[in-house]
Amino acid sequence: MSDNGTTNSAERHATSGTASRPAPATASGPPPGPAGISRRRLLGTAGAAGAAGLAVGAAGGVAGQRAGAPEALTAVGATAVAFHGRHQPGITTPMQARGHLAAFDLAPGSPAAARKAAAALLRRWSATARELMAGRPPADDTGVALDTGPSSLTVTFGFGRSLFDRTGLAKQRPVALDPLPDFSSDALDARRSEGDLWVQIGADDPLVAFHALRALQKAAGSAARVRWQMNGFNRAPGATARPMTARNLMGQVDGTNNPKPADQDFERRIFVPGGGEPEWMAHGSYAVVRRIRMLLDDWEKLPDREQERVIGRRKADGAPLSGGTETTEMDLEKTDASGALVIPATAHARISAPESNGGAAMLRRPFSYHDGFDRDGVPDAGLLFVCWQADPLTGFVPVQRKLDRGDALSRFIRHESSGLYAVPGGAAEGEYVGQRLLES
């Protein structure tokens, strides 16, 4: 990261397509002003995000829009992501420090009434998300996020398979929403899976994230009830000296080989094309959501050398066991003096690589979670795995099938819940998310 906040191509390559974010404005460079950050640095940060293809509003202007808010915020608080755009926010946006995932079920009613209620709800939710993402509190505000800027808040909406029958829109249901196959390692809890509507919230401030969750739940009113809800987190912006790929709760560098927005085939792999099927999903994407518990007591007994063989990458820096640095391509053919594969045949990174799956790829954008310890002190912790693709049948499904058959990591994880959601393209100004479906 250079002083003016721009990310050079080598640095961008060295981090996940979604994990890179600016260093805190106060970490280096000229001394900050009394309010914590100079205007030059603030604008530099917004400029860098814009150059990376991310939708960012006028960071410098956000604080001024709120009566009683501080005159200037740090870059963390001031960064705003645009609600309107070709794609919904929260897909290519850098991963945020805090996340909430929630599924809602529509209230019982006739298909016509349910569709009308869903349309009104998405209109209300879109308006709430747009205001909150710009740092403007809703009319009946609880005050939870007063004093903070938008803090890179994003809200993303998706539709589950069950929504289409509930609303009489079965003919509009994408084939891509067909149920995921059963996997032998699944231990799924139906009550924490699927749902008519899905909401993903991310923000770099925990109060901002909770505020959005509560505002959306209240905006649902009697139209929909929370079916399940999960809380997650990632490394806080500025916690590392330079932008670095995230680590998960097993301590691994996780996200290295994600597709990058600069890749030539990124759009094709992650987003449904305009004019694709069905039409209302143009520029949308499909999210697979899995709550994956990590069996940390077992994992942490394994020596680092063995942990590295499970993944196929070094723990310290994420470099492949075949050599080089984090960004060096894996050499899947390399053998040692005894003729054994250096990256074991069962290594997670080998089995999940596009080269092992006919090119199948997905954009992984997870949150870690920790929901406490049981009576014996066993942690309920792991990954809220969220991956994005233009079609789950050519993304998640073939890769998970292969992992299910021979991944060395599977001994240390358990898939406990699952959801598959159609996430429509971004709403244009004056539109709400999903309007093209709900008013078709």
Binding stretches for ligand L6N33NVT (CB under 6 A): 248, 250, 252, 254-257, 290, 292, 294, 311, 313, 318, 348-349, 352-354, 362, 382-383, 385, 396, 399-400, 403, 413
Least distance from ligand L6N33NVT to the Cβ atom of residue 270, Å: 13
Neighbours of 329 (CB within 10 A): 11
Residue 100 or 313 having the CB closest to ligand L6N33NVT: 313
Least distance from ligand L6N33NVT to the Cβ atom of residue 86, Å: 25
Residue 117 or 311 having the CB closest to ligand L6N33NVT: 311
Residue 159 or 385 having the CB closest to ligand L6N33NVT: 385
Rg, the chain, Cα only:
22
Neighbours of 113 (CB within 10 A): 14
Cα 380 to Cα 401: distance, rounded to the nearest angstrom = 25
The 10 Å CB-count burial string (b at 16+, else e) for 55-85 is bbbebbebbeebeebeebbbbbbbbbbbbbb
Least distance from ligand L6N33NVT to the Cβ atom of residue 291, Å: 10
Least distance from ligand L6N33NVT to the Cβ atom of residue 214, Å: 28
For residue 418, the cross-strand partners are 290
Cα 124 to Cα 373: distance, rounded to the nearest angstrom = 37
Catalytic one of 196, 204, 205, 254: 254
Cα 368 to Cα 98: distance, rounded to the nearest angstrom = 9
H-helix segments, 189-311: 206-220, 266-270, 296-299, 304-311
The candidate with the shortest Cα–Cα distance to 41, out of 55, 59, 56, is: 59
Least distance from ligand L6N33NVT to the Cβ atom of residue 400, Å: 4
Residue 16 or 200 having the CB closest to ligand L6N33NVT: 16
Q: Rounded to the nearest 10 degrees, how much is the dihedral formed by the CA atoms of 425, 426, 429, 431?
A: 50
The candidate with the shortest Cα–Cα distance to 362, out of 249, 271, 239, 436, is: 271
Residue 56 or 399 having the CB closest to ligand L6N33NVT: 399
Residue 54 or 353 having the CB closest to ligand L6N33NVT: 353
Cα 86 to Cα 424: distance, rounded to the nearest angstrom = 10
Give phi and psi for 244, each to the nearest 5: -135, 155
Least distance from ligand L6N33NVT to the Cβ atom of residue 180, Å: 10
Clarify whether 265 is annotated catalytic: no
Three-state SS at 257: coil
Residue 237 or 259 having the CB closest to ligand L6N33NVT: 259
Helix 206-220 / helix 111-133 crossing angle, nearest 10 deg: 150
CA–CA–CA angle 283, 288, 294 (5° rounding): 145
CB 120 within 8 A of CB 68: no
Least distance from ligand L6N33NVT to the Cβ atom of residue 440, Å: 32
Question: Which residue numbers are catalytic?
Answer: 254
